[in-house]
Amino acid sequence: MNRHSLHFLIFTFCVVLFSCNQPKSPTDELGFVYDKITQVPFPDPNIPGFTFPQDSNTINGWIKAGQNDEIYKHGWGIWAGLTMPTSQTSGGNVLLTYETWLTPSEILDSINNTGVKRSGRANLNKPHQLVHAMLKGAPVDDTSDSESVSYSPSAAQFAIDNKIFLYTTLAKYAEEGRTQIPDFPSDAITLKPVFKLIEKSKLTSDSIYAMASWHGPTDKVEAFPQKAWKSCVYVDLKNGGQGKGLQDMTCSARTPENTYNLSDFIHYTLNAEDIYYYNKEFGLNAQVGDIALLVAMHVATRETLRWTWQTFWWAPDPNNPPAPSSKAIADARPLAQLSGAASHYAMAVAYSMVYPDQPYTGGESVGDTVIGFNPYLEAGFGPNVFTGSNSFVIKNGTKIMTNAGVRTNCMSCHAYAAYDVYNPSNGTPYSGDAYVDLSDTIFNGKLKLDFAWSVQGNVDTTGMAAFLSKQK
């Protein structure tokens, strides 16, 4: 649930960045040669009963009736489509659907007509929400955690057409008295893939990488960062692992049963451009040939007014993953359409803030909690990160505090995505699982960003000084 940074067949055409069958463009000033990549609209994964985009009335009906089986099927259908291979390649490796999509910085390049260049996959950055949490005192787990926020073709085209990443656009909306940006289209998808970098130069001669692995949340309302899990799996870059769903609960006793293959992960090898920008971002000395492992991904779709929310992470035992996933969720995987590495991930969903669902406005934070977080993104957040006073749910008269990462809900947090053009530092708080009234007074004087923190985190502030000076 990215505060600063977190969609499909509206296109009857592809937005062309480049064309993979055309000759490569000349090298740029840094010497990079750019492949031609074309955005691929969300495909049909051919899953019986799955439709995208699904009618909002249908999805809201599932939520009201507690039809979790339909929600699970829908979430897995989205994952299957995102991870379908395309006809394009980079560095000799096939690109998956989501890997062809534009990042906010590339969308800004399109808005500003500066041209979009990419030599393969999106460049990796520090996860914005983790940087925010660090400022609040949350621990830093692993500097190799990185992200690359992306928009589906229709979401990207919406952002380009409406210029929603420009401060001048948001300021114009505010001057007009608007309270929110235009709605994204119903087939819009935003996503945040999260990676760990395997620096091959730091591996032992047996090419084994040790990685923190999730085994389930703490019952305490506190931060639970990766270093506190004390559980690991091992990745064999030579694909000699025999992983059988087990973890090393001491991170000191590797066995064949807790050693997995590189091929069990969605991954890719970094090229020269990837490494240049990675080292620039993180201040490290990664090298060409190092490997990015996909360990997690937040995915939101604009099929309903409050979007749908599903999050994925790599699991040693994808058939029986721990909370916030479950065996029931795992059993809903469409394995005929979801094979190989993509089937090795667990899923959690958050299609409502609390249950029973509450109305858009005028509701209460009562009922059962709906917990939907990603271990590799939110688990490390403690109460110090949640500065608002609304992180709770009242169940049967008892107040359940949710001001910790392991008690969060993507929808609740993203509901607060807003921007104050007159005082950009006047932000809204992180929230744990709770009901959020879309007419809450906290939005007074701000533009709601249609649940997209990725808009707020990528505003081009050109023109801000002139606008604020004019106001004074």
Nearest-10 crossing angle of helices 56-65, 68-82: 130
Long-range (24+ apart) CB contacts under 8 A made by 119-122 are 119/32, 119/33, 119/34, 119/35, 119/90, 119/271, 119/272, 119/273, 119/274, 120/35, 120/37, 120/90, 120/91, 120/268, 120/271, 120/273, 120/274, 121/90, 121/95, 121/148, 121/268, 121/274, 122/148, 122/150
Boundaries of domain holding 346: 56-471
What are the tens digits of pLDDT across the range 139-170?
545 556 999 999 999 999 999 999 999 999 99
Please check whether residue 295 lies inside any domain of the structure. Answer: yes
Q: What is the pTM of this model?
A: 0.92
Counted domains in the chain: 1
User: What's the mean pLDDT when you consider all of the chain?
Assistant: 90
Given a contact cutoff of 8 angstroms between Cβ atoms, the answer to whether 15 and 156 are in contact is yes
Please check whether residue 451 lies inside any domain of the structure. Answer: yes
Task: For residue 418, list its beta bridge partners.
Answer: 448
Task: For residue 192, list its beta bridge partners.
Answer: 298
Per-position b or e across 283-316, b if 16+ CB within 10 A of its CB: eeebeeebbbbbbbbbbbbbbbebbbbbbbbbbb
pLDDT at 180: 98
CA distance 405 to 364: 21
Please check whether residue 445 lies inside any domain of the structure. Answer: yes
pLDDT at 131: 52
Please check whether residue 50 lies inside any domain of the structure. Answer: no
CA distance 312 to 296: 5
pLDDT at 40: 97
Instruction: Identify the segments of the chain with pLDDT beneath 50.
Output: 1-26, 132-136, 138, 140
Please check whether residue 33 lies inside any domain of the structure. Answer: no
pLDDT at 116: 75
Please check whether residue 19 lies inside any domain of the structure. Answer: no
Q: Which helix (H) or strand (E) holds 81?
A: helix 68-82
pLDDT at 213: 97
Please check whether residue 66 lies inside any domain of the structure. Answer: yes
Q: Return the SS3 of 3.
A: coil
Strands 150-151 and 189-198: antiparallel
What are the tens digits of pLDDT across the range 99-122?
999 999 999 999 999 877 787 899
Please check whether residue 36 lies inside any domain of the structure. Answer: no
